Amino acid sequence: MSVEHAAVQRADFDQVMVPNYAPAAFIPVRGAGSRVWDQSGRELIDFAGGIAVNVLGHAHPALVGALTEQANKLWHVSNVFTNEPALRLAHKLIDATFAERVFFCNSGAEANEAAFKLARRVAFDRFGSEKYEIIAALNSFHGRTLFTVNVGGQSKYSDGFGPKITGITHVPYNDLAALKAAVSDKTCAVVLEPIQGEGGVLPAELAYLQGARELCTEHNALLVFDEVQTGMGRSGKLFAYQHYGVTPDILTSAKSLGGGFPIAAMLTTEDLAKHLVVGTHGTTYGGNPLACAVAEAVIDVINTPEVLNGVNAKHDKFKARLEQIGEKYGLFTQVRGLGLLIGCVLSDAWKGKAKDIFNAAEKEGLMILQAGPDVIRFAPSLVVEDADIDAGLDRFERAAAKLTQA
């Protein structure tokens, strides 16, 4: 049964919404696979994926089926009870990773908030009140709560909200000497993204993560990997830490975990999890049956050799074509990243102009992303069809040609 809705347009945003976003001039209304249609019926190819969220594209039948089935059973029961989808999903995440315990919540910020609280609680219980310092990387991004935005290494996001949370230090990414100089016996956690997403799609060096692991072990600190953007197959492994062979103590996941349905998770060991006893932390919607049913379908599709190997093959296809475009038009000098999290580093002539390239691509019917002002970011569906890759990059090349001829 269809329902009549009042007509709305992009101009309504400026009348009814808090102005903390500046959305594009069009409104997407329908998606299928890697294609999106706006209110006017214009078709766009989606290489943005809701900022690395729509890991299986739009309206994937396995996700639609899981959500529909669960919607006819049970929507919400609160954490006074548990539920079957949450338990099934937890088992699958544990079976596929280092983890032995899972905490479910709703967003990457909440997962990181839980991770940072756990790290401080473990240190407090085991070593006392003076061991609470957290070390993170400059240009990192860990969420928008007051705690997570302070751990994130970008002052433009954390300034202007009153006193900063104390006990947080930032050091340059991929600089092991700087990290070593900062770590002490007061450090409770080192927090790193295996690939900095918002910071420019910058992968960690193997020696850097190995060194971080050794420093944490030496100083009784916890190594926390923020895999909100890199997790759930995005890197070509289920989680990016599996590329490096470096195991964290705590891992956070969100974005792709629900394929577009809000859900997040903090994964850790039994030994650490026992410090979050009843009442120490919680969330109303975490572990929601609808979200967990969808996420279970996501992991069932993604965690297969067919899909994960396909991600690496699609990476090679993207990279080869993007390098050709970059060289031909002089827009960017480097294509970096893992799997289907790809960044194009703009050339000196185009530094600071990522938004211009974003806008030009949209005019050609292509949805892409920025990672700061100097990097163009691609985070498409992991099952994007080769024909859509070719068509989308054709549109990107047309945008590049028009920009450089202007």
Distances (CA, A) of 52 to 49, 208, 239: 5, 25, 14
- The annotation status of 99 as a binding-site residue, yes or no, is no
- What radius of gyration, in Å, describes the C-alpha atoms of the chain? 21
- The annotation status of 333 as a binding-site residue, yes or no, is no
- The annotation status of 383 as a binding-site residue, yes or no, is no
User: Tokens standing for 349?
Assistant: 């002539």
Strands 250-253, 222-226: pairing is: parallel
User: Tokens standing for 111?
Assistant: 């997962």
Say if residues 155 and 258 touch (Cβ distance below 8 Å).
Answer: no
Q: Point out the catalytic residue in the list 46, 131, 225, 226.
A: 226
255 is catalytic: yes
237 is catalytic: no
- Read off the amino acid at residue 11: A
- The annotation status of 377 as a binding-site residue, yes or no, is no
Q: Angle formed by the axes of helices 386-405 and 354-363, to 10°?
A: 120
- The annotation status of 228 as a binding-site residue, yes or no, is yes
Strand order of the β-sheet with 366-367 is 28-32, 35-38, 43-46, 366-367
- The annotation status of 103 as a binding-site residue, yes or no, is no
- The annotation status of 247 as a binding-site residue, yes or no, is no
| Distance (Å, whole) CA 247 – CA 241 | 6
- The annotation status of 141 as a binding-site residue, yes or no, is yes
Q: Point out the catalytic residue in the list 46, 103, 225, 255.
A: 255
- The annotation status of 144 as a binding-site residue, yes or no, is yes
Q: Point out the catalytic residue in the list 47, 103, 116, 141.
A: 141
- The annotation status of 226 as a binding-site residue, yes or no, is yes
User: Tokens standing for 14?
Assistant: 């400026």
26 is catalytic: no
List the catalytic residues: 141, 226, 255
Please give the annotated binding residues for pyridoxal 5'-phosphate, written as ranges: 108-109, 141, 226-229, 284
Please give the annotated binding residues, written as ranges: 108-109, 141, 144, 226-229, 283-284
Please give the annotated binding residues for N(2)-acetyl-L-ornithine, written as ranges: 144, 283
